[in-house]
Chain A
Amino acid sequence: MNLRTLLLGVSSAALLCGFANAETLTIATVNNGDMIRMQGLTDDFAAKNPDIQLEWVTLEENVLRERVTTDIATKGGQYDIVTIGNYEVPIWAKQGWLVALDGLGDDYDVDDLLPAIRGGLSVDGKLYAAPFYGESAMIMYRKDLFEKAGLTMPDSPTWEFIGEAARKITDRSSDISGMCLRGKAGWGENMAFLTALNNSFGGRWFDEKWQPQFDQPEWKTSLQFYVDLMKDAGPQGASSNGFNENLTLFQQGKCGMWIDATVAASFVSNPKDSTVADKVGYAIFPDTGNGNHGHWLWSWNLAVPASSTKAEAAQKFIAWATSKGYTELVASKEGWANVPPGTRTSLYKNADYEKAAPFAAPTLAAMDAADITKPSVKPVPYTGGQFVAIPEFQGLGTTVGQLFSAVLAGQSSVDDALAQAQTAAVREMTRAGYIK
């Protein structure tokens, strides 16, 4: 009994000391270049906040997502700050799993955040996550190959033009594919692109009554277009290519065009990794003349789980990592081209950034064109551009992604895949109670 009291006393004293001296924040991040750069720069934060220590958990995107989701949903309390996408933020905020970020400080300048991004991270006017970097999608193309083929990229290309151009610049003998696109199955891989593509073809995932639309002509036209294009102008093994694989292909000069996330621009234009750095041009995501450019909008954000006991310190860190000051810090250490893009209006008004990053203007144009509340020309009951912001989308999107990647691999036909996708979607949506 005595011993126990003594032990309790000692440990609580130790605990108190711990509180007085330092708080340790556990931060879960994805292993993207920008995040890893942030880890390297935290000395600046440590100098300003000597009483806060940082512990990092860096994981590959899929593992990170399942780890963080399991922990937050079971209130495991393992993390103080989590890195999540704008897909999760509204869903989790509605569950009450995230702390509203009202302690970011006066100089944070919330109004400077890009409206499209801020909208996606707010529920009932409250901000639940702070954007670390944001992206839309655009065309990255090889100016030299276009010139050689006698083509000029219009200001707002249509899919028809892109299809023709891709076929024209394809040169199998020198291993150049006219078009590189995602084909690897996954809701965040091929389905991100195909959903945006289908948006620009006038289609949608669900109608107002949550009825899946894979039996509608838009999906058939867009999927057929994609499969034909990849057959004529795509690289070998396209059905297992994701963002990374295409990035590597493009950097090695093996793609004439690549339509993907705008963050890729800073990688393909970086002469250290890219063999085509000085030959890249940019253009807005194609449409079919309907003004719908896919509405791709993604951001990686920092948020505080409700299960964290250190919300105050956590917000301090978030305010630091997503501030204008951090942007300047990166610029001073690594150059303006490497600052995390796509979160603040002020960045795109910065002359230094414009000069260092030739992709700044097209990126901003793409992000401004994205409206995740109206992804399709037809009415939809959901929000989200290249995804559908409902919890069921991860599972369903992956199933559909598998079916569509089978078409690309030549193991299934467009019609079969669409019919199967429709069945799977109806099944899943009925079960989740959307279809009554």
Chain B
Amino acid sequence: MARAVSTRRMAVATAAAWIIALIIFFPILYTIITSLKTETEAIKGFNLIPSFTLESYVTVQTQSGYLKPFMNSVVIAVGSTILALFVAIPAAWSMAFSPTRRTKDILMWMLSTKMMPAVAVLVPIYLIFRDFGLLDTRIGLTVMLTLINLPIVVWMLYTYFREIPGEILEAARMDGASLFDEIVHVLTPMAVPGIASTLLLNIILAWNESFWTIRLTTTNAAPLTAFIASFSSPQGLFWAKLSAASTLAIAPILIMGWFSQKQLVRGLTFGAVK
């Protein structure tokens, strides 16, 4: 009896979840489908079965090569994330384990820096970048994205580190562990899930950042967001080409996200779990 109920319940839950998931996923799915259509097919009306032509992908690739912006996106997203982690891990560690009265304020203040609208500071930043010769360089963009995402990274790590019970550290210290041992042997293993998911989240945010990545680059450092900007409204029919370019731009991060979702989810708590 109980068994039957739970099977029925499972069937209902499955059906409901699949319907919702398909609705949410539909825009992406339809983009991928449209990218495999011809241009005339793409605006003929609703149609889920494309003619599986790669015509649009070929056009997109010949028009502006995919590899260079892709590499730039990878370098900038991964680079800025690693840089941010280097700066943020010590900060979050000290905030979590030796909090002062002002820790909360510092944290809030860091978050509030994110509220400055990017457009308003474009000209000042552009001038700074020009004077330091950072325009259209991967280094400049990496530093920029590091700074933009640093508050979120610090906060995420802080909330995660705070969940690590302090007693364990005390115990280790009692046993005569040095600070180095403390970090490497005790803290790190416990912190890895949190760091991993912070890393993933930050890569996603950096990959998708599309204001500065377009404004501060021209050719050498232009990532996939700029690649997309060259397809967004050309003359003539462009649905299929736009879909192909979009698919190319989001595919890497989508695949990475799919494969690492377990790691992403495990640490994505922002201190929400206790």
Contacts and interface: CB of A to CB of B under 8 A. Distances in A.
B236 A273 contact: yes
B7 interface: no
Interface stretch (A74-82, A325-333, A386-394, A409-417): A74-82
B261 interface: no
Interface string A41-66: 00000000000000111111101001
B218 A74 contact: no
Contacts of A141: none
B54 interface: no
B250 interface: no
Interface in B132-186: 135-136
Interface string A254-288: 00000000010001000001000000000000000
A70 B123 contact: yes
A93 B232 CA distance: 29
A349 interface: no
Given A39-B63, A58-B64, A267-B236, A273 B40 contact: yes
A151 interface: no
B130 A74 contact: yes
Interface residues of B, number: 29
A132 interface: no
Interface in B22-66: 39-40, 43, 62-64
Contacts of B214: 59, 63, 67
A243 B238 CA distance: 13
B230 interface: yes
B10 interface: no
Interface string B198-228: 0000000000000000110011001000100
B235 interface: yes
Interface stretch (A25-33, A197-205, A226-234): A25-33
B135 A247 contact: no
A240 interface: no
Contacts, number: 84
Nearest to B238: A244
Contact of A247 (B123, B229, B231, B236): B236
Given A67-B214, A70-B123, A70-B215, A60 B232 contact: yes
B128 to A, nearest CB: 11
A273 B238 contact: no
B234 interface: yes
B218 A60 contact: no
A36 interface: yes
B32 to A, nearest CB: 21
B219 A74 contact: no
B15 interface: no
A74 B125 CA distance: 11
A322 B236 CA distance: 23
B126 A74 contact: yes
B235 A59 contact: no
A71 B216 CA distance: 10
B218 A243 contact: no
Interface of A: 26, 28, 31-33, 36, 39-40, 55-61, 63, 66-67, 70-71, 74-79, 242-244, 247-248, 251-252, 263, 267, 273
10 contacts: A40-B62, A55-B219, A63-B229, A71-B126, A76-B130, A78-B218, A242-B233, A244-B233, A244-B238, A267-B235
- Give the top 3 A-B pairs by smallest Cβ distance, nearest first: A58-B230, A60-B232, A55-B219
